[in-house]
Each structure stands twice: as C-alpha cells, then as structure tokens.
C-alpha cells in the first residue's frame, strides 16, 4: 500500500477514508444518540433516486444524489416532528420508493454508462479531487456548527425537553442536524456504498459510547475508530484485491464484536 501512495488515486482514497472517518464519527454519534438510524438509512437508499434522476436528466449523479437526499431528508425530518409514532413506517416507504425510482429512471435512460454497483457498494479508489473538496467543505461546516453551538447540541442530543426550557431552538437544530447527516451520508456512499453506509455511521459511535461518558468524548473516539476502520479496510482491500467498502465494514464489525467482549461503559 505504501508503494501505491505514489499514485494519485491511492492518495485520494486514503484522504477520503480519513475525511469520511471523521465525518462519520462526529455525525454518527448524533445518529446513535438521537436514534436517527432509520433516518440515515432512509436517506442513503432514497439517494439512489437522485442518482437515477440525474442520469435521466444528463447531470452529475453526485449533485443529483445530494439534492435529492437533502430534499428527502428534510421531508423525513418534518414527518418525525409531525407524526413521530408513524415516522418509521413512512420513512420506510420513502426508503423503498427512492430506490425504486432510481432503478426506473436508470431504465429510462438510453445507453447510460454509470456503474450502479459503485453506488451500491462504494468505489473509494475512484474518488476524485472534487469529491475530496466537497467532503472537506462539509467537514469544515460540521466542525464550525459544533464549535458555535456545542452546548445547545449537547442538550438537544440528550434531552430535548430540557433543551427547550433553556431556550435552545430544538426544531431548527433538528432540521440542521438532519440536513448535515443527509449530505454526509451521500458523500460517504462513495467510500462504502449506500448498502453499507449506515454501518460506518453507527458502529464506531456504538463502540465509542462504551468507552466515553460525554458527547464530545464519544465523537472524538468514534472519529478515531472510524478512521482506523476505514484505513485498515482499505489496506486489506488493496492487499487481497477485495471490495473496499465491504472490507471496511467487516473490519468495523469485528471491532464492534471485540468491544462487546472487553469491559466498557455500558449505560
């Protein structure tokens, strides 16, 4: 792998693993703490509709996925506020409908050349400089939001009722966090694919919850773990000619299994 770093595609892949690892560690903590797992999964699969629509319209699949996922995520966020008891079922419908729409749009696109498998299982070795810039920009935005509203986010994450009594704009934070998660999910699809992306958002944060007692400690630990899993999975994929996304997730799953054996901060 060290020798391969002389090639730009390998350097881009390593940078993508680092950037997405930190991004997933930070936002994945919120996903786990706020029980937004079904939402993150729904966004990932609904984004497939944006890819298909973009192909049909002849525009960038990446931009199509970002726009479509953001719109669907905000709709899901609204549903979670208006109909919390039925939100899981409705998100499940949007999840399935988004994927189905993507397939049909692709069917209607004559001679499309996109490799849909790269969106299903990831294609980290084809990450471009533009993808890296988008991911770095989103990570910068996430860090800026976290620094500016760290107290509000902590209160919002653990106790919304208490946060409201303290004057925290819970509804605005809800929509903001969901929007950031949706953008991060789409960008991470390039690394592990939409089928596996939810694992990179939940496994590191779930492990980190067992070893850290504060929200920021969990975020930091989850980021380090996600980076380690991503780089280790990438190294295994290169060494044994494996699908990188699947290798990354299996390394993370092995780490989670190990964390269950070791003593931790179970709450």
Cβ neighbours for 9, distance < 8 A, ≥ 6 positions apart: 125, 126, 127
Q: Residue 115's pLDDT is what?
A: 57
Is 70 exceeded by the pLDDT of residue 184? yes
Q: Residue 169's pLDDT is what?
A: 93
d(CA 44, CA 64): 13
pLDDT band at residue 267 under the 50/70/90 scheme? low
Is 90 exceeded by the pLDDT of residue 196? no
Q: What are the sequence ranges of the domains in the chain?
A: 3-261
Superfamily for 3-261? ABC transporter involved in vitamin B12 uptake, BtuC (1.10.3470.10)
SS3 188: helix
Mean pLDDT over each residue of the chain, to the nearest integer: 89
Ramachandran category for residue 7: left, alpha or beta (phi over 0 → left; psi -120 to 50 → alpha): beta
> pTM, whole model, 2 decimals?
0.91
pLDDT band at residue 124 under the 50/70/90 scheme? confident
Dig out the tokens for 130 from the structure: 């533009």
Q: Which of 165, 192, 163 is nearest to 177 (CA)?
A: 163
pLDDT band at residue 47 under the 50/70/90 scheme? confident
Q: What is the DSSP string of 109-159?
A: STT----HHHHHH--GGG--HHHHHHHHHHHHHHHHHHHHTHHHHHHHHH-
Lowest mean pLDDT among 6-10, 215-219, 233-237: 6-10
């Amino acid at each position: 792998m060290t020798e391969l770093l002389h090639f730009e595609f390998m350097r881009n892949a390593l940078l993508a693993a680092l950037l997405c690892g930190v991004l997933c560690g930070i936002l994945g903590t919120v996903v786990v703490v706020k029980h937004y797992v079904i939402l993150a999964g729904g966004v990932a699969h609904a984004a497939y509709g944006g890819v298909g629509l973009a192909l049909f319209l002849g525009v960038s699949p990446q931009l199509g996925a970002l726009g479509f996922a953001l719109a669907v995520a905000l709709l899901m966020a609204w549903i979670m506020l208006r109909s919390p008891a039925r939100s899981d079922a409705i998100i499940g419908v949007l999840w399935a409908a988004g994927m189905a729409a993507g397939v049909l749009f692709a069917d209607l696109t004559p001679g499309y050349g996109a490799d849909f498998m790269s969106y299903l299982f990831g294609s980290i070795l084809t990450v471009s400089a533009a993808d890296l810039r988008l991911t770095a920009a989103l990570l910068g935005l996430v860090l800026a939001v976290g620094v500016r509203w760290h107290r509000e986010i902590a209160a919002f994450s653990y106790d919304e009722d208490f946060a409201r009594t303290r004057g925290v704009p819970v509804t605005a934070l809800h929509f903001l966090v969901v929007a950031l998660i949706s953008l991060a999910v789409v960008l991470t699809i390039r690394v592990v694919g939409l089928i596996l992306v939810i694992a990179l958002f939940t496994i590191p944060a779930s492990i980190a919850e067992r070893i850290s007692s504060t929200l920021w400690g969990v975020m930091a630990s989850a980021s380090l773990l996600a980076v380690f899993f991503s780089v280790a999975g990438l190294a295994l994929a290169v060494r044994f000619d494996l699908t990188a996304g699947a290798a990354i997730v299996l390394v993370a799953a092995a780490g989670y299994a190990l964390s269950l054996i070791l003593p931790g901060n179970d709450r």
